[in-house]
Amino acid sequence: MKTYKILLFLLVLIPSFALAQCRPFTKNKALPKLNGYVQNDSYNSAQMAPGEEAEIMVTFFGGRDYRLLVVAHPILGDVEFTVSDINGKQIYTNKGAQDKEAFEFKMKNTQQLVVKVKVPEQKDAVVQHIGCISIVSGFKQ
Amino acid sequence: MIKKHLSLNAFLSICVSSLFLVACGGNENKTENKAPLETGASELTNKDEFFKDREQALKQIFFSIPAPIEMADMIKDAGFSFDKNVLNPVEKVNKYINEENRAINLGIYAADLSYSTVFDQKQESVNYLSASKTLASALGIDGALDEQFMERVQRNQNNRDSLISYVTQSYQNVNAYLKEGKRTDVSALIIAGAWVETLYLSTQYAGKKGEKAMRQRVAEQTYSLNQLVNYLNLFATSNRVNQMKEDLIKLQMIYKDVIVIGGETSVEKDKNGTTTIGSTDTITMSDATLAKIAAEVVVIRNKYIL
Protein backbone atom coordinates (compact mmCIF):
# COMPACT_ATOMS: atom_id res chain seq x y z
CA MET A 1 0.00 0.00 0.00
CA LYS A 2 2.85 2.32 0.95
CA THR A 3 4.56 1.57 -2.39
CA TYR A 4 1.42 2.52 -4.29
CA LYS A 5 1.31 5.82 -2.41
CA ILE A 6 4.91 6.53 -3.41
CA LEU A 7 4.03 5.62 -7.00
CA LEU A 8 1.07 7.95 -7.02
CA PHE A 9 3.20 10.74 -5.55
CA LEU A 10 5.83 10.27 -8.26
CA LEU A 11 3.26 10.22 -11.04
CA VAL A 12 1.76 13.45 -9.76
CA LEU A 13 5.24 14.99 -9.66
CA ILE A 14 6.10 14.21 -13.29
CA PRO A 15 3.94 16.90 -14.94
CA SER A 16 5.12 19.49 -12.39
CA PHE A 17 8.74 18.78 -13.26
CA ALA A 18 7.89 18.92 -16.94
CA LEU A 19 6.49 22.42 -16.47
CA ALA A 20 9.31 23.69 -14.30
CA GLN A 21 11.52 24.89 -17.11
CA CYS A 22 11.17 28.65 -17.22
CA ARG A 23 12.29 29.48 -13.68
CA PRO A 24 16.00 28.96 -14.43
CA PHE A 25 15.55 30.55 -17.87
CA THR A 26 14.09 33.68 -16.29
CA LYS A 27 16.75 33.77 -13.60
CA ASN A 28 19.69 33.25 -15.95
CA LYS A 29 18.58 34.85 -19.20
CA ALA A 30 16.05 37.55 -18.34
CA LEU A 31 16.65 39.01 -14.86
CA PRO A 32 20.33 39.91 -15.48
CA LYS A 33 19.13 42.14 -18.33
CA LEU A 34 17.25 44.37 -15.88
CA ASN A 35 20.62 46.07 -15.49
CA GLY A 36 20.23 48.08 -12.31
CA TYR A 37 16.44 48.35 -12.42
CA VAL A 38 14.47 46.86 -9.52
CA GLN A 39 12.12 44.11 -10.62
CA ASN A 40 8.54 45.13 -9.90
CA ASP A 41 6.34 42.23 -10.91
CA SER A 42 5.70 38.69 -9.73
CA TYR A 43 6.44 35.95 -12.28
CA ASN A 44 5.42 36.10 -15.91
CA SER A 45 7.17 33.29 -17.72
CA ALA A 46 5.85 30.32 -19.64
CA GLN A 47 6.70 28.04 -22.48
CA MET A 48 4.99 29.13 -25.66
CA ALA A 49 4.51 27.42 -29.00
CA PRO A 50 4.97 28.72 -32.55
CA GLY A 51 2.06 30.90 -33.65
CA GLU A 52 0.92 31.63 -30.08
CA GLU A 53 0.19 35.08 -28.69
CA ALA A 54 -0.05 36.39 -25.15
CA GLU A 55 -0.79 39.76 -23.65
CA ILE A 56 -0.41 41.35 -20.30
CA MET A 57 -1.65 44.65 -18.91
CA VAL A 58 0.85 46.50 -16.74
CA THR A 59 0.42 49.64 -14.64
CA PHE A 60 3.33 52.06 -14.79
CA PHE A 61 3.47 54.97 -12.36
CA GLY A 62 3.95 58.59 -13.33
CA GLY A 63 7.33 60.21 -12.66
CA ARG A 64 9.24 56.94 -12.82
CA ASP A 65 11.66 55.27 -15.24
CA TYR A 66 11.13 51.70 -16.40
CA ARG A 67 12.82 48.94 -18.33
CA LEU A 68 10.51 46.37 -19.89
CA LEU A 69 11.96 43.07 -21.08
CA VAL A 70 10.53 40.35 -23.26
CA VAL A 71 13.12 37.61 -23.38
CA ALA A 72 12.40 34.57 -25.53
CA HIS A 73 14.29 31.37 -26.10
CA PRO A 74 16.13 31.66 -29.45
CA ILE A 75 14.50 28.49 -30.69
CA LEU A 76 11.25 30.46 -31.06
CA GLY A 77 12.77 32.78 -33.67
CA ASP A 78 12.02 36.49 -33.92
CA VAL A 79 9.41 36.99 -31.25
CA GLU A 80 7.57 40.25 -31.76
CA PHE A 81 6.46 42.41 -28.87
CA THR A 82 4.47 45.61 -28.88
CA VAL A 83 3.35 48.07 -26.23
CA SER A 84 0.05 49.91 -26.63
CA ASP A 85 -2.20 52.08 -24.50
CA ILE A 86 -5.56 50.68 -23.40
CA ASN A 87 -7.23 52.20 -26.46
CA GLY A 88 -4.95 50.21 -28.75
CA LYS A 89 -2.65 53.05 -29.78
CA GLN A 90 0.73 51.45 -30.42
CA ILE A 91 3.57 53.06 -28.50
CA TYR A 92 6.41 50.68 -29.26
CA THR A 93 7.32 47.67 -31.37
CA ASN A 94 10.57 45.74 -31.24
CA LYS A 95 10.45 45.30 -35.04
CA GLY A 96 13.54 47.02 -36.34
CA ALA A 97 14.71 47.97 -32.85
CA GLN A 98 18.41 47.65 -32.06
CA ASP A 99 17.71 45.84 -28.80
CA LYS A 100 14.80 43.52 -29.53
CA GLU A 101 14.37 42.47 -25.91
CA ALA A 102 14.29 45.73 -23.98
CA PHE A 103 12.25 48.90 -24.01
CA GLU A 104 13.26 51.73 -21.67
CA PHE A 105 10.97 54.65 -21.03
CA LYS A 106 9.89 57.36 -18.62
CA MET A 107 6.26 57.72 -17.55
CA LYS A 108 4.81 61.21 -17.20
CA ASN A 109 1.54 60.06 -15.73
CA THR A 110 0.34 56.77 -14.27
CA GLN A 111 -1.09 54.65 -17.04
CA GLN A 112 -1.96 51.09 -17.93
CA LEU A 113 -0.15 49.72 -20.95
CA VAL A 114 -0.73 46.48 -22.82
CA VAL A 115 2.25 44.32 -23.76
CA LYS A 116 1.56 41.86 -26.58
CA VAL A 117 3.89 39.02 -27.47
CA LYS A 118 3.66 37.06 -30.71
CA VAL A 119 5.65 33.92 -31.47
CA PRO A 120 6.26 33.37 -35.21
CA GLU A 121 4.91 30.27 -36.94
CA GLN A 122 7.32 27.42 -37.74
CA LYS A 123 5.49 26.20 -40.84
CA ASP A 124 8.40 24.36 -42.42
CA ALA A 125 9.78 22.82 -39.25
CA VAL A 126 9.71 19.02 -39.16
CA VAL A 127 9.80 19.08 -35.38
CA GLN A 128 8.08 21.90 -33.54
CA HIS A 129 9.62 23.33 -30.42
CA ILE A 130 8.24 25.19 -27.47
CA GLY A 131 10.40 27.68 -25.60
CA CYS A 132 10.27 29.98 -22.61
CA ILE A 133 9.20 33.58 -22.82
CA SER A 134 9.71 35.87 -19.84
CA ILE A 135 8.08 39.26 -19.49
CA VAL A 136 9.85 41.27 -16.81
CA SER A 137 9.66 44.90 -15.81
CA GLY A 138 11.75 46.95 -13.44
CA PHE A 139 11.82 50.50 -12.12
CA LYS A 140 14.77 52.76 -11.44
CA GLN A 141 15.30 53.79 -7.83
CA MET B 1 4.08 -12.77 -3.72
CA ILE B 2 7.75 -12.36 -4.67
CA LYS B 3 6.78 -12.17 -8.35
CA LYS B 4 4.16 -9.50 -7.63
CA HIS B 5 6.69 -7.55 -5.62
CA LEU B 6 9.26 -7.76 -8.40
CA SER B 7 6.89 -6.48 -11.05
CA LEU B 8 5.89 -3.64 -8.77
CA ASN B 9 9.53 -2.78 -8.21
CA ALA B 10 10.15 -2.87 -11.94
CA PHE B 11 7.22 -0.51 -12.52
CA LEU B 12 8.48 1.76 -9.78
CA SER B 13 11.92 1.82 -11.42
CA ILE B 14 10.38 2.80 -14.76
CA CYS B 15 8.43 5.60 -13.08
CA VAL B 16 11.49 6.91 -11.28
CA SER B 17 13.53 6.73 -14.50
CA SER B 18 10.78 8.57 -16.38
CA LEU B 19 10.64 11.20 -13.69
CA PHE B 20 14.36 11.85 -13.90
CA LEU B 21 14.27 11.77 -17.68
CA VAL B 22 11.63 14.49 -17.71
CA ALA B 23 13.17 16.42 -14.85
CA CYS B 24 16.58 16.32 -16.45
CA GLY B 25 15.26 17.39 -19.80
CA GLY B 26 15.54 14.08 -21.61
CA ASN B 27 14.15 15.46 -24.86
CA GLU B 28 15.71 18.90 -24.69
CA ASN B 29 16.48 20.30 -28.13
CA LYS B 30 16.95 16.93 -29.80
CA THR B 31 17.17 18.45 -33.23
CA GLU B 32 19.34 21.36 -32.16
CA ASN B 33 22.50 21.26 -30.12
CA LYS B 34 22.21 19.38 -26.84
CA ALA B 35 21.47 22.41 -24.68
CA PRO B 36 21.02 22.07 -20.93
CA LEU B 37 17.62 22.22 -19.25
CA GLU B 38 18.00 25.82 -18.14
CA THR B 39 17.82 26.97 -21.75
CA GLY B 40 14.07 26.37 -21.40
CA ALA B 41 13.11 24.76 -24.68
CA SER B 42 11.88 21.35 -25.69
CA GLU B 43 10.13 19.51 -28.48
CA LEU B 44 6.39 19.90 -28.67
CA THR B 45 5.62 16.21 -28.27
CA ASN B 46 2.15 16.20 -26.71
CA LYS B 47 0.09 18.86 -28.44
CA ASP B 48 -3.23 17.82 -26.87
CA GLU B 49 -1.83 18.19 -23.37
CA PHE B 50 0.01 21.43 -24.16
CA PHE B 51 -2.95 23.20 -25.76
CA LYS B 52 -5.54 21.95 -23.26
CA ASP B 53 -7.30 24.98 -21.69
CA ARG B 54 -4.45 27.01 -23.12
CA GLU B 55 -6.10 30.44 -23.20
CA GLN B 56 -7.11 30.18 -19.56
CA ALA B 57 -3.65 28.88 -18.59
CA LEU B 58 -1.85 31.78 -20.29
CA LYS B 59 -4.20 34.32 -18.68
CA GLN B 60 -3.48 32.80 -15.26
CA ILE B 61 0.27 32.98 -15.82
CA PHE B 62 0.64 36.35 -17.53
CA PHE B 63 -0.72 38.77 -14.96
CA SER B 64 0.94 41.83 -13.50
CA ILE B 65 0.24 44.38 -10.86
CA PRO B 66 3.13 46.34 -9.38
CA ALA B 67 5.05 44.33 -6.79
CA PRO B 68 4.99 45.67 -3.20
CA ILE B 69 8.59 46.88 -3.47
CA GLU B 70 7.55 49.67 -5.85
CA MET B 71 4.88 51.14 -3.58
CA ALA B 72 7.29 50.93 -0.63
CA ASP B 73 9.80 52.83 -2.73
CA MET B 74 7.19 55.48 -3.48
CA ILE B 75 6.43 55.89 0.25
CA LYS B 76 10.14 56.51 0.81
CA ASP B 77 10.31 58.85 -2.20
CA ALA B 78 7.49 60.88 -0.69
CA GLY B 79 9.79 61.63 2.25
CA PHE B 80 8.24 59.46 4.94
CA SER B 81 10.10 57.48 7.57
CA PHE B 82 9.80 53.86 8.69
CA ASP B 83 7.10 52.95 11.19
CA LYS B 84 7.31 49.45 12.64
CA ASN B 85 3.88 49.79 14.23
CA VAL B 86 2.08 49.59 10.90
CA LEU B 87 3.44 46.10 10.11
CA ASN B 88 1.83 42.75 10.75
CA PRO B 89 4.04 41.27 13.52
CA VAL B 90 6.15 38.26 12.53
CA GLU B 91 5.20 36.60 15.84
CA LYS B 92 1.81 35.83 14.32
CA VAL B 93 3.29 33.47 11.75
CA ASN B 94 2.21 30.32 13.61
CA LYS B 95 -1.40 31.46 13.74
CA TYR B 96 -1.79 30.84 10.04
CA ILE B 97 -2.73 27.20 9.84
CA ASN B 98 -4.69 26.73 6.63
CA GLU B 99 -3.46 27.15 3.09
CA GLU B 100 -5.60 30.21 2.39
CA ASN B 101 -4.35 32.12 5.45
CA ARG B 102 -0.80 31.07 4.82
CA ALA B 103 -0.91 32.30 1.23
CA ILE B 104 -2.58 35.63 2.01
CA ASN B 105 -0.25 36.32 4.92
CA LEU B 106 2.77 35.32 2.86
CA GLY B 107 1.69 38.15 0.56
CA ILE B 108 1.20 40.47 3.54
CA TYR B 109 4.64 39.61 4.90
CA ALA B 110 6.10 40.12 1.40
CA ALA B 111 4.78 43.68 1.45
CA ASP B 112 6.09 44.26 5.00
CA LEU B 113 9.44 42.78 3.96
CA SER B 114 9.61 45.11 0.95
CA TYR B 115 8.74 48.12 3.12
CA SER B 116 11.36 47.20 5.76
CA THR B 117 14.05 46.63 3.13
CA VAL B 118 13.41 49.84 1.22
CA PHE B 119 13.76 51.72 4.52
CA ASP B 120 17.00 49.84 5.18
CA GLN B 121 15.75 48.10 8.32
CA LYS B 122 18.16 45.16 8.23
CA GLN B 123 16.95 43.15 11.21
CA GLU B 124 13.29 43.66 10.32
CA SER B 125 14.04 42.52 6.77
CA VAL B 126 15.69 39.32 7.97
CA ASN B 127 12.81 38.70 10.39
CA TYR B 128 10.17 39.13 7.67
CA LEU B 129 12.12 36.98 5.26
CA SER B 130 12.37 34.29 7.91
CA ALA B 131 8.62 34.46 8.57
CA SER B 132 8.03 34.27 4.81
CA LYS B 133 10.21 31.17 4.67
CA THR B 134 8.12 29.56 7.41
CA LEU B 135 4.93 30.17 5.44
CA ALA B 136 6.50 29.11 2.14
CA SER B 137 7.59 25.82 3.74
CA ALA B 138 4.12 25.30 5.16
CA LEU B 139 2.75 25.81 1.64
CA GLY B 140 5.12 23.13 0.35
CA ILE B 141 7.38 25.44 -1.63
CA ASP B 142 10.56 25.19 0.44
CA GLY B 143 12.64 25.48 -2.70
CA ALA B 144 11.47 29.06 -3.25
CA LEU B 145 13.35 30.24 -0.16
CA ASP B 146 15.86 27.49 0.52
CA GLU B 147 18.69 27.46 3.06
CA GLN B 148 21.31 28.59 0.54
CA PHE B 149 19.14 31.58 -0.35
CA MET B 150 18.65 32.46 3.32
CA GLU B 151 22.40 32.18 3.97
CA ARG B 152 23.12 34.53 1.07
CA VAL B 153 20.66 37.02 2.54
CA GLN B 154 22.34 36.77 5.96
CA ARG B 155 25.77 37.29 4.41
CA ASN B 156 24.65 40.34 2.41
CA GLN B 157 22.23 41.94 4.84
CA ASN B 158 24.40 45.03 5.18
CA ASN B 159 24.20 45.76 1.49
CA ARG B 160 20.85 47.44 0.82
CA ASP B 161 20.94 46.92 -2.95
CA SER B 162 21.67 43.21 -2.55
CA LEU B 163 18.92 42.91 0.02
CA ILE B 164 16.42 44.58 -2.32
CA SER B 165 17.46 42.18 -5.05
CA TYR B 166 16.92 39.19 -2.71
CA VAL B 167 13.51 40.52 -1.67
CA THR B 168 12.33 40.81 -5.28
CA GLN B 169 13.81 37.37 -6.02
CA SER B 170 11.96 35.84 -3.09
CA TYR B 171 8.62 37.26 -4.30
CA GLN B 172 9.35 36.04 -7.80
CA ASN B 173 10.47 32.57 -6.62
CA VAL B 174 7.38 31.99 -4.52
CA ASN B 175 5.05 32.87 -7.39
CA ALA B 176 7.17 30.93 -9.89
CA TYR B 177 7.07 27.73 -7.86
CA LEU B 178 3.31 28.00 -7.45
CA LYS B 179 2.53 28.91 -11.05
CA GLU B 180 4.76 26.19 -12.45
CA GLY B 181 3.31 23.72 -9.98
CA LYS B 182 -0.14 24.55 -11.33
CA ARG B 183 -1.17 26.22 -8.08
CA THR B 184 -1.98 29.57 -9.64
CA ASP B 185 -4.90 30.11 -7.25
CA VAL B 186 -2.49 30.05 -4.30
CA SER B 187 -0.21 32.48 -6.15
CA ALA B 188 -3.25 34.70 -6.78
CA LEU B 189 -3.97 34.79 -3.03
CA ILE B 190 -0.37 35.79 -2.29
CA ILE B 191 -0.54 38.59 -4.85
CA ALA B 192 -3.88 39.74 -3.40
CA GLY B 193 -2.50 39.66 0.16
CA ALA B 194 0.53 41.69 -0.90
CA TRP B 195 -1.67 44.22 -2.66
CA VAL B 196 -3.99 44.64 0.36
CA GLU B 197 -1.02 45.23 2.67
CA THR B 198 0.57 47.64 0.20
CA LEU B 199 -2.63 49.64 0.01
CA TYR B 200 -2.93 49.56 3.81
CA LEU B 201 0.61 50.89 4.24
CA SER B 202 -0.01 53.60 1.64
CA THR B 203 -3.20 54.78 3.32
CA GLN B 204 -1.33 55.10 6.62
CA TYR B 205 0.64 57.92 4.99
CA ALA B 206 -1.87 59.24 2.46
CA GLY B 207 -4.24 60.31 5.23
CA LYS B 208 -1.73 62.69 6.81
CA LYS B 209 -2.66 66.36 6.61
CA GLY B 210 -1.44 68.09 3.47
CA GLU B 211 -0.06 64.88 1.98
CA LYS B 212 -0.47 64.83 -1.81
CA ALA B 213 1.93 62.31 -3.35
CA MET B 214 0.75 59.21 -1.50
CA ARG B 215 -2.85 60.30 -1.76
CA GLN B 216 -2.43 60.32 -5.57
CA ARG B 217 -0.80 56.87 -5.44
CA VAL B 218 -3.72 55.50 -3.45
CA ALA B 219 -6.16 56.88 -6.04
CA GLU B 220 -4.10 55.31 -8.84
CA GLN B 221 -4.52 51.92 -7.21
CA THR B 222 -7.92 51.86 -8.89
CA TYR B 223 -6.13 50.35 -11.92
CA SER B 224 -4.46 47.55 -9.95
CA LEU B 225 -7.66 46.81 -8.04
CA ASN B 226 -9.67 46.36 -11.23
CA GLN B 227 -6.95 44.18 -12.71
CA LEU B 228 -6.76 42.10 -9.54
CA VAL B 229 -10.51 41.51 -9.38
CA ASN B 230 -10.53 40.51 -13.06
CA TYR B 231 -7.65 38.14 -12.37
CA LEU B 232 -9.41 36.53 -9.41
CA ASN B 233 -12.41 35.98 -11.70
CA LEU B 234 -10.29 33.40 -13.52
CA PHE B 235 -10.50 31.19 -10.42
CA ALA B 236 -14.28 31.13 -10.15
CA THR B 237 -14.38 27.56 -8.83
CA SER B 238 -12.09 28.32 -5.91
CA ASN B 239 -14.05 29.26 -2.78
CA ARG B 240 -11.04 30.70 -1.02
CA VAL B 241 -10.27 32.97 -3.97
CA ASN B 242 -13.93 33.99 -4.19
CA GLN B 243 -13.87 35.05 -0.54
CA MET B 244 -10.97 37.42 -1.22
CA LYS B 245 -12.64 38.60 -4.40
CA GLU B 246 -15.81 39.53 -2.51
CA ASP B 247 -13.76 41.59 -0.08
CA LEU B 248 -12.03 43.39 -2.94
CA ILE B 249 -15.34 44.04 -4.68
CA LYS B 250 -16.46 45.96 -1.56
CA LEU B 251 -13.36 48.07 -1.95
CA GLN B 252 -14.07 48.43 -5.66
CA MET B 253 -17.48 49.90 -4.81
CA ILE B 254 -15.73 52.67 -2.87
CA TYR B 255 -13.14 53.13 -5.61
CA LYS B 256 -16.00 53.92 -8.00
CA ASP B 257 -15.91 57.41 -6.45
CA VAL B 258 -12.35 57.91 -7.67
CA ILE B 259 -12.71 60.03 -10.79
CA VAL B 260 -10.74 58.75 -13.77
CA ILE B 261 -10.92 60.82 -16.94
CA GLY B 262 -9.30 59.16 -19.91
CA GLY B 263 -7.25 61.19 -22.35
CA GLU B 264 -4.78 60.94 -25.20
CA THR B 265 -1.48 59.10 -24.96
CA SER B 266 1.61 60.89 -26.24
CA VAL B 267 5.05 59.49 -27.00
CA GLU B 268 8.13 61.69 -27.22
CA LYS B 269 11.72 60.80 -27.92
CA ASP B 270 14.42 63.29 -26.98
CA LYS B 271 17.79 63.77 -28.72
CA ASN B 272 19.38 61.18 -26.42
CA GLY B 273 16.85 58.60 -27.55
CA THR B 274 14.93 58.55 -24.26
CA THR B 275 11.26 57.74 -24.71
CA THR B 276 8.72 59.53 -22.52
CA ILE B 277 5.15 58.30 -22.41
CA GLY B 278 2.56 60.80 -21.29
CA SER B 279 -1.19 61.14 -21.29
CA THR B 280 -3.88 63.64 -20.51
CA ASP B 281 -5.57 61.12 -18.15
CA THR B 282 -6.52 62.50 -14.75
CA ILE B 283 -7.27 60.62 -11.54
CA THR B 284 -8.73 62.47 -8.56
CA MET B 285 -10.25 61.53 -5.24
CA SER B 286 -12.01 63.41 -2.44
CA ASP B 287 -10.98 63.34 1.24
CA ALA B 288 -14.14 61.39 2.02
CA THR B 289 -13.30 58.69 -0.55
CA LEU B 290 -9.76 58.37 0.81
CA ALA B 291 -11.15 57.98 4.33
CA LYS B 292 -13.57 55.27 3.16
CA ILE B 293 -10.81 53.39 1.31
CA ALA B 294 -8.54 53.59 4.37
CA ALA B 295 -11.30 52.28 6.64
CA GLU B 296 -12.29 49.42 4.34
CA VAL B 297 -8.74 48.20 3.79
CA VAL B 298 -8.32 48.01 7.58
CA VAL B 299 -11.43 45.83 7.79
CA ILE B 300 -10.16 43.49 5.06
CA ARG B 301 -6.64 43.31 6.48
CA ASN B 302 -7.86 42.63 10.02
CA LYS B 303 -9.98 39.78 8.73
CA TYR B 304 -6.92 38.00 7.36
CA ILE B 305 -4.05 38.86 9.72
CA LEU B 306 -6.08 37.41 12.65
The set of residues, in sequence order, having a beta carbon less than 8 Å from that of B282 and lying 6+ positions away, is B259, B260, B261, B263
Closest residue of chain B to A7, computed from CA coordinates? B12
Q: Calculate mean pLDDT across residues B22-36.
A: 40
Q: Can you tell me the distance from the alpha carbon of B69 to that of B85, in angstroms, rounded to the nearest whole number?
A: 19
Q: What is the largest CA-CA distance in chain B?
A: 82
Structural domain count, chain B: 1
Specify if B165 maps to a domain: yes
| Domain extent for B161 | 52-305
Q: What is the pLDDT of residue B66?
A: 96
Give the one of A14, A59, A73 whose C-beta lies nearest to B39's C-beta. A73
B182/A112 CB distance under 8 A? no
Contact B181, B141 (CB under 8 A): yes
- DSSP-derived 3-state class of residue B42: strand
Q: What is the pLDDT of residue B142?
A: 93
Specify if B155 maps to a domain: yes
Give the number of other CB atoms < 10 A from CB of residue B6: 10
Q: Please determine, for residue B295, whether its predicted confidence score (pLDDT) is greater than 70.
A: yes
A 39-78 near B (Cβ less than 8 A): 39-49, 52, 54-62, 73, 75-76
Asked: is A22-139 a CATH 3.40.50.1440 domain? The reply is no
Specify if B25 maps to a domain: no
Banded pLDDT at B15 (limits 50, 70, 90):
very low
Specify if B45 maps to a domain: no
Specify if B41 maps to a domain: no
Residue range B165-180, pLDDT digits in tens: 999 999 999 999 999 9
Domain boundaries, chain A: 22-139
Chain B neighbors of A112, CB-CB under 8 A: 223, 227
- Residue of A59, A41, A38 whose CA lies nearest to A107: A59
B64/A56 CB distance under 8 A? yes
Highest mean pLDDT among A9-13, A16-20, B23-27, B244-248: B244-248
